[in-house]
Amino acid sequence: MATAHTLPLLNAKQPDEAFALYVHWPFCVSKCPYCDFNSHVRETVDQAAWRAALLADLAHEGTMLPGRTLGSIFFGGGTPSLMPPATVAAIIDAVAGNWRVADDVEITLEANPSSVEAARFADLAAAGVNRVSLGLQALDDATLAFLGRAHSVTEGLGALETAQAAFARVSFDLIYARPDQTPDAWAAELERALSFGTEHLSLYQLTIEPGTRFATLFQQGKLTPLDNDAAADMFESTRARLSAAGLPAYEISNHAKPGAESRHNLTYWRYGDYAGIGPGAHGRRLGQATVRHKKPENWLSAVARNGHGMVSEDALPPRDRAVEALLMGLRLGEGVDVARIAARSGVAEPVDFGAVERLVKLGLIEFAPPRLAVTERGFGVLDAILAEVVA
């Protein structure tokens, strides 16, 4: 077992890494009962005003990261497939005026699988989007109704087919460990999902988030979550099945064919720099945490007033940077480079090496200096491991 003083913690050179850009579109047709994201329903949206404001917010970030190379763009929400393709194109075009753009830049857009939004896929691809993430969420109509989704299975699968024809890369989401869901039912749904041949799947266990409609129903005794042990069994069987199918888990909830991982999300999990624009968007750049105004109208007013939508921009203390990097990075199958975290944060011992030694003996983590990684067995108790390891 290596000790902290054997690691070249403070001398590791920080690489000149490409950074990522997140663009938040806050509007949805309706609010899903499980969703705690910054999403809003509005009868009308002034598209010209929103395009101008996003471009202004983007230009401000361009002054903060001059001369850098952009490796990925992610349009999230909300429902960014409701954005006019012309707005998406304008943002992508403006990016090239602010930064160098990697030749293989990954440009992802989250989309609802409705026929109306699918009709825009060809135009979004022409605008420069080369990867789409579809919110299918389930493959049976009763569950879709329970989750508050506006599309049917037939409509969703039609959108998936359209997406696969329009974009080079396609991912879709499913939610499992739902109330009363059986292992056999989930296994059958998972087999059907695999049959569509997509390179990437995001598989999330249903959680009851504070402030959501589901949280209210839970408090009223009208919604009973799946038993924790049953959910844990589904988690383990899901990872095993996806690995056998050639889509191993590279992050706790994300599975991909080798080489098809989301490069944008890897920037987050590897604690690289990223800029965030749009309502409620967060950023981490040059040791600073940025936060935009959350309410759409407040963000618009801030952009008009200040030229950007930021509500706060704070230097992160070294310890906070180290903790964030560990909390993000240990979600990855590849784990974290402890020396890199130390170099980027300035914290010589970002992990509790005594805890690391104990957890290695229990078979929950592996440590081959400087890389620290959670084992397959350990991912089932990741939260407990993080509480132990973070110094």
- DSSP for 339-374 reads HHHHHHH--S--B-HHHHHHHHHTTSEEEETTEEEE
Q: How far apart are the C-alpha atoms of 171 and 155, rounded to whole Å?
A: 16
**pLDDT at position 2:** 36
Residues 6+ apart with CB under 8 A from 368: none
- DSSP for 142-179 reads HHHHHTT-SS-HHHHHHHHHHHHHH-SEEEEEEEES-T
**pLDDT at position 266:** 97
Residues 6+ apart with CB under 8 A from 281: 22, 23, 24, 291, 292, 309
Beta pairing partners, 332? 251
Q: Is the pTM of this model over 0.75?
A: yes
The angle at the Cα of 153, spanning 152 to 154, to the nearest 5 degrees, equals 90
The angle at the Cα of 77, spanning 325 to 200, to the nearest 5 degrees, equals 65
Q: How far apart are the C-alpha atoms of 107 and 73, rounded to whole Å?
A: 5
Q: How far apart are the C-alpha atoms of 36 and 207, rounded to whole Å?
A: 10
The tokens for 351 are 């992990």
Number of helices (H) and strands (E), helices first, in the chain? 15, 15
Q: Which of 298, 280, 299 is nearest to 290 (CA)?
A: 280
Beta pairing partners, 351? 390
Residues 6+ apart with CB under 8 A from 313: 288, 289, 290, 291
Q: How far apart are the C-alpha atoms of 391 and 342, rounded to whole Å?
A: 12
Q: Which of 120, 126, 150 is nearest to 136 (CA)?
A: 150
**pLDDT at position 344:** 87
pLDDT 10s digits, 11-25: 333 346 899 999 999
User: How far is residue 214 from each of residues 146, 153, 281, measured CA to CA in Å?
Assistant: 10, 22, 24
Q: Which of 268, 284, 275, 273 is nearest to 308 (CA)?
A: 275
Q: Are strands 274-277 and 19-25 parallel, antiparallel or unpaired?
A: parallel
Are 55 and 5 contacting, i.e. CB atoms less than 8 angstroms apart?
Answer: no
Q: What residues of the chain score a pLDDT lower than 70?
A: 1-16, 391
Sign of the alpha-carbon dihedral angle for 371, 255, 24, 264:
positive
Residues 6+ apart with CB under 8 A from 279: 24, 26, 38, 292, 293, 294, 295, 296, 298, 299, 309
**pLDDT at position 174:** 98
**pLDDT at position 16:** 61
Phi, psi of 28 (to 5 degrees): -135, 160
**pLDDT at position 116:** 81
**pLDDT at position 391:** 64
Q: Which of 14, 19, 107 is nearest to 64 (CA)?
A: 19
Sheet of 19-25, strand order: 249-251, 254-256, 200-205, 169-176, 131-137, 100-111, 69-77, 19-25, 274-277, 282-285, 288-292, 310-315
Q: How far apart are the C-alpha atoms of 274 and 315, rounded to whole Å?
A: 15
Domains, the chain: 19-269 (3.20.20.70), 334-389 (no CATH)
**pLDDT at position 100:** 96
